[in-house]
Amino acid sequence: MQAVAPAREPGCAWAQLAPGVRIDASDEVRAAHSRGMSYLDLLAWRSVGGMDGGLLPAVDAVAFPASHEQALAVVQGCAREGVVVVPVGGGTSVTGGIDAGAGDDRPVLAVSLAQLDALSHLDTESHIATVQAGMTGPQVEQALDGFTLGHFPQSWERATIGGFIAARSSGQSSGGYGRIEDMLIGATLATPAGTWEVGGYPAASMGPDLRQVVLGSEGTLGVITSAQLRVRPKPSVREYAAAIVPLGSANAGAGSAAETSFTPASDVARALTRSPLRPTVLRVSDADETRALLTMSAPSGIAGSLFNAYVRARRALPGALIIVGWEGNDPGTVAAARAFARSVIGDSGGVWLGSGPGRSWERGRFHGPFLRDELMDAGYLVETFETVVRWSELLTLHATLRDVARQALGDGSYVMAHISHTYETGASIYFTVLAGGWSDPDVAAKRWRAAKQTITEALVKAGGALSHHHGIGRDHAPWLVERIGPIGVQVLEGIRSAVDPSGVMNPTVLRAPR
């Protein structure tokens, strides 16, 4: 392990901050709770004596509250003693949401949710589960006897309920189950001002919806300790399929570069999304991602020579790969939805590939992050960025960002994208960028910062959101005022001051650097 920056203690000493709560100041535990999984975070682990002056920046200690009351004691103790609080769930933030350096001259205490991992209650009549916020995706699914939350982002295996809420997460089955905000009935937070309970109803008209203030709060308002979530009976029918839709369209008119990389597959996605028979999972790869997936033998690939031969034989390439899935408890409805999808895809000239490639995708759906580690070890830049935009702006935004990213990353870079989540009014696009020769962590960090800036500026200019489901963290914070306006920023600050007047909660996150 790299040498870890020396730890500081608060004036009162850790043992006195919240008596009875386990607080660990060992280097191993500190290092493990000091960063997330952004490209820069992963580089930091690889940087030896380099970018950070030889010492791995780390929080000063880690608290492990075992109850809401303990979490409250920790948060209020920190507010009292001027200790900065950095909540840590699964540690999977890819936007710099965990900042070991958040304290400046104040000590920093990471608050781990690891001990808050129990199902508290399952209301089988209302379909509401009350869970402690430290439960991971798999823990929740295992505990929900006969039910499912249906929330499967790529971080699912490690990320926690509290993290899903704090980051406004969206899972791969969002077409059927919605985003985390569609699932959240209520939440309890430990804040410097005390215990804060929000929501409790499927919907209500009692002023602003304060659940939606907690959703996306990224640890700046308190530690989310428990949540009431909508659950559904586990589906008895689950089907996945794939298709390739050739590029271009007779209706596209004067085909621009934008049009030829997605259409008519993007039209298929839009039509499927707007139907009452919309699929549970829907993902449309652009031409470059389709090519990569079909030629890679990676765990997340949909590879296989037989498959390729089949597609080529039908001259469906170059094309756009569509992954589509349906879940439910009524076989008739699932069959109707599948038949509808098949007919829309057929009308677009697509080639139906059946369930084999769809199942391959499902098996590999959480492998992306692990693949990334391997590629980074081999000196590759591997990074993702994502946004959301209305349908009428999607093709132009996609083409613009693809070109800007290629230019920013230089020769030998590979930029690919897919439509990852769809709505009646728009869709998110998820870009993956690969580039070789990024072995030196310091050089890589500098290059990536420059590229990120160029890409994000282009994204903002093209009208995209700063993020569809990764969040703001520190990495997107410089553009926040441009996107939500000065009044939006004032409102966020007003909310923060109301619950955290001494400013100890995750102070460097969701806030532009000074």
Amino acid at 82: G
Q: Does 206 bind a second copy (CB under 8 A)?
A: yes
- Of the candidate spans 17-25, 271-279, 288-296, 409-417, the one that interacts with a second copy by CB under 8 A turns out to be 271-279
Provide the pairing of β-strand 61-64 with 22-24: antiparallel
For a second copy, the closer of residues 321 and 510 by Cβ is 510
Q: Does 425 bind a second copy (CB under 8 A)?
A: yes
For a second copy, the closer of residues 72 and 113 by Cβ is 72
Instruction: Round to whole Å and give the CA distance between 378 and 493.
Output: 42
Whether the CB-CB separation of 22 and 59 falls below 8 Å is answered with no
Shortest distance, position 464 Cβ to a second copy, whole Å: 8
How does DSSP assign 345-367, residue by residue?
Answer: HHHTT-EEEEHHHHHHHHHTTT-
Instruction: Please identify which residue in 32, 159, 215, 322 interacts with a second copy, judged by CB under 8 A.
Output: 215
Shortest distance, position 224 Cβ to a second copy, whole Å: 13
- Of the candidate spans 40-48, 144-152, 272-280, 358-366, the one that interacts with a second copy by CB under 8 A turns out to be 272-280
Q: Does 465 bind a second copy (CB under 8 A)?
A: yes
Q: Does 469 bind a second copy (CB under 8 A)?
A: yes
Site string for a second copy, 351-390 (x = CB under 8 A): -------------------------------------xxx
| SS3 (DSSP) at 394 | helix
Shortest distance, position 463 Cβ to a second copy, whole Å: 8
Q: Does 179 bind a second copy (CB under 8 A)?
A: yes
Q: Does 461 bind a second copy (CB under 8 A)?
A: no
Q: Does 292 bind a second copy (CB under 8 A)?
A: no
Q: Does 237 bind a second copy (CB under 8 A)?
A: no
Instruction: Please identify which residue in 236, 354, 491, 502 interacts with a second copy, judged by CB under 8 A.
Output: 491
Side-chain half-sphere CA neighbours of 245 within 13 A: 28
At residue 22, what are phi and psi to the nearest 5 degrees? -70, 125
Q: List residues bridging with 245 in a β-sheet.
A: 320
Which positions ≥6 away from 287 have C-beta within 8 Å?
A: 247, 260, 261, 262, 318, 319, 320
Shortest distance, position 470 Cβ to a second copy, whole Å: 6
Q: Does 498 bind a second copy (CB under 8 A)?
A: yes
Q: List residues bridging with 330 in a β-sheet.
A: none
Q: How far is CA 317 from the centre of its chain?
A: 30
Query: Site residues for a second copy, window 21-80 (CB under 8 A)?
Result: none
Provide the pairing of β-strand 22-24 with 426-435: unpaired
For a second copy, the closer of residues 105 and 125 by Cβ is 125
- Of the candidate spans 210-218, 246-254, 366-374, 448-456, the one that interacts with a second copy by CB under 8 A turns out to be 210-218
Whether the CB-CB separation of 469 and 429 falls below 8 Å is answered with no
Which residue in this structure is represented by tokens 């085909």?
Answer: 255
Q: Does 409 bind a second copy (CB under 8 A)?
A: no
Whether the CB-CB separation of 428 and 371 falls below 8 Å is answered with no
